[in-house]
Structure 1
Amino acid sequence: MGNEIHQAAREGYAVDAKSYARGRPEYPAELAGWLADELGVLPGSHVVDLGAGTGKFTKRLLANGATVTAVEPVDAMRAELAAGLPGVAALVGAAASMPLQTAIADVVVCAQAFHWFAGEVELKEIHRVLRPGGRLGLVWNVRDESVDWVAELTRIITPYEGDAPRFYKGDWRRPFDASPYFDLPAPSSFVNAHVGTPEEVIVDRILSVSFIATLEPEEKAKVARRLRRLVAEHPALSGHETVAFPYRTEAYCCSRR
Structure 2
Amino acid sequence: MNEQLHHSAAGYKTAADTYVKGRPDYPPQVSDWLTATLGLDSHKTVIDLGAGTGKFTGRLVATGAQVIAVEPVPQMLEKLSAAYPQVLAVSGTATDLPLPDASVDVVVCAQAFHWFASPAALTEIARVLKPGGRLGLVWNLRDTRVSWVPKLDSIVNALEGDTPRYYTGAWRLAFPHKAFGPLQAQHFAHGHTGSPEDVIFNRVRSTSFIAALPQAQRDRVDAQIRALIDGEPELRGKDVITVPYVTAAFVTVKGS
Q: What is the TM-score when the length of structure 2 is the normalising length?
A: 0.97
Partner in structure 2 of residue 233 of structure 1? 231
1:230 & 1:99 partners in 2: Cα distance? Answer: 45
2:122 is aligned with 1:127: no
Q: Among 210, 213, 216, which residue is 2:211 paired with?
A: 213
Deviation at 1:91, TM superposition (A): 0.2
Moved over 6 A (4+): none
Code of the aligned partner of 1:62: V
Deviation at 1:70, TM superposition (A): 0.1
Q: After superposition, where does 1:126-205 map in structure 2 within 5 Å? A: 126-177=125-176, 179-205=177-203
Say if 2:2 and 2:72, in contact at 8 Å, map to a contact too: no
Partner in structure 1 of residue 6 of structure 2? 6
Partner in structure 2 of residue 90 of structure 1? 89
Partner in structure 1 of residue 65 of structure 2? 66
1:3 & 1:106 partners in 2: Cα distance? Answer: 28
1:185 & 1:66 partners in 2: Cα distance? Answer: 23
Q: Deviations over 1:81-132 (max 9, x none)?
A: 0111111111000000111111111100000000000111110110011111
Identity of aligned residues (%): 47
Deviation at 1:231, TM superposition (A): 2.2
Unaligned runs of 5+ in 2: none
2:221 & 2:174 partners in 1: Cα distance? Answer: 34
Partner in structure 2 of residue 246 of structure 1? 244
Code of the aligned partner of 2:4: E
Partner in structure 1 of residue 26 of structure 2? 27
Deviation at 1:2, TM superposition (A): 11
Unaligned runs of 5+ in 1: none
Q: What is the TM-score when the length of structure 1 is the normalising length?
A: 0.96
Deviation at 1:184, TM superposition (A): 2.0
Deviation at 1:230, TM superposition (A): 2.0
SS in 2 for 1:167: coil
Code of the aligned partner of 1:145: T
Code of the aligned partner of 2:24: P
What's the RMSD between the two structures over aligned residues?
1.4
Partner in structure 1 of residue 76 of structure 2? 77
Say if 1:39 and 1:135, in contact at 8 Å, map to a contact too: yes
1:69 & 1:109 partners in 2: Cα distance? Answer: 10
Distance change in 2, residues 1:66/1:3 (3 Å): farther
Code of the aligned partner of 1:31: V
Deviation at 1:239, TM superposition (A): 1.7
Deviation at 1:229, TM superposition (A): 2.4
Q: Aligned residue pairs: how many?
A: 255
